[in-house]
Amino acid sequence: MAVYTDIDDDELDGLLLAYDIGRAVACKGIAEGVENSNFLLQTDQGPFILTIYEKRVNSDDLPWFLGLMAHLNANGLPCPQPIVRRDGGLLSRASGKPAAIVSFLNGRWPKKPKPVHTQKVGDALARLHLAGADLAAERANGLSVSAWRDLLSQCGERSDEVHDGLYDALTTEVGFLEAHWPDALPRGVIHADMFPDNVFFIDEELSGVIDFYFACTDVLVYDLAICLNAWCFEPDGAFNITKARQMLGAYRERRALTRDEFDALPVLARGAAMRFLLTRLYDWLNHPEGALVTPKDPMEYWHKLAFHQKVASATAYGLDF
């Protein structure tokens, strides 16, 4: 939930003159996304989303993110369509910050995902990977294996405040991941943050994927590992093999996995768990005392990491190669 920046009426009216989407009749800050300020903008032509980018998003990356959304849309993935300005650009400025307007997507994100949802997510992820294949521009993943040792050292010994022995255990795990990370697998555009709150459904049909602000160029199946972690564990910590089987099966129906990709899933899932564990741990240790926004529990990902450490092969995720 986040509205950090507000927009003045006169400025909004002025901003809309640069577009061909009518006049604003309402504009409400919405509780969506944690990095930027988002507004549900109603014009006399319909609903849109106005995003004002806060400092956690590198403004140099914005043309890539907006270009990616336009590219994926053009290739049939349901995701926000950046609205083109009259001057041909996608990026504007509002309240002294970068801003963009994108199409509004109907649908709601599933608070309690079912196997049918994970099936649709597996399918959409494969579609995203295929649709992104011919995007020439690349963006490095700043939160992949090469970043983890540094992130862990920023958390430091204080990690043990969260769980006794955590710092040493994570140091060992980072070493393992650095030594065993699969570098030779097929690469391309990944979403890198396709959690349930970033995927909309109408009934049981997937109607949209949002929030491309962690998207980057990386190992494709690493994205699948992120989704396994985000979608296939139950609130009590149990791994739901039915959900995983649906996700992997639907992905493979659209994009076949190589043997190497399949075999790499457990180590990629450990890495995916490490990435979210570390950023949550950092936020946990550095959030202001008494803040109203409670940081997410890093231990959720510690338990997911432990699950994957015990996995003998990718068949543990419900399907044989």
Left, alpha or beta for 88 (phi > 0: left; psi -120 to 50: alpha)?
left
Q: For a second copy, which is the closer residue by CB, 24 or 314?
A: 24
Residue 160 per-residue DSSP state: G
What residues between 249 and 308 interact with a second copy by CB under 8 A?
A: 288-293
Write down the least CB distance from residue 290 to a second copy, Å. Answer: 3
Among 14, 17, 22, 28, binds a second copy (CB under 8 A): 28
* Residue 8 binding a second copy, by CB under 8 A: yes
Q: Residue length, the chain?
A: 321
Please give the structure tokens belonging to residue 62.
């914005």
Smallest separation (angstroms) from a second copy to the CB of 50: 12
Contact between 48 and a second copy per CB under 8 A:
no
53 — phi, psi (to 5°)?
-85, 125
Give the closest residue to 41 by CA, choosing from 55, 56, 26. Answer: 26
Could you tell me if residue 54 is left (phi over 0), alpha (psi between -120 and 50 degrees) or otherwise beta? beta
Q: Binders of a second copy among 145-204, rule CB under 8 A?
A: 200, 202
Alpha-carbon gap, residue 6 to 39, rounded angstroms? 9
Rank residues 112 and 310 by Cβ distance to a second copy and give the closer one: 112
Beta carbon nearer to a second copy, 103 or 141: 103
CB of 96 to a second copy, least distance (A): 15
Which is nearest to 186 in space by CA: 243, 285, 262?
Answer: 262
Q: What is the DSSP string of 125-145?
A: HHHHHHHTTT-----B-TTSH
Span near a second copy by CB under 8 A; candidates 52-60, 105-113, 242-250, 265-273:
105-113
State whether the Cα torsion 249-253-257-258 is positive or negative: positive
In the list 60, 86, 111, 236, the residue contacting a second copy (rule: CB under 8 A) is 111
Which one of residues 15, 29, 217, 218 is an interface residue with a second copy (CB under 8 A)?
A: 29
Contact set with a second copy (CB under 8 A): 1, 3, 6, 8-10, 12, 24-32, 40, 42, 47, 104-108, 110-112, 200, 202, 288-293
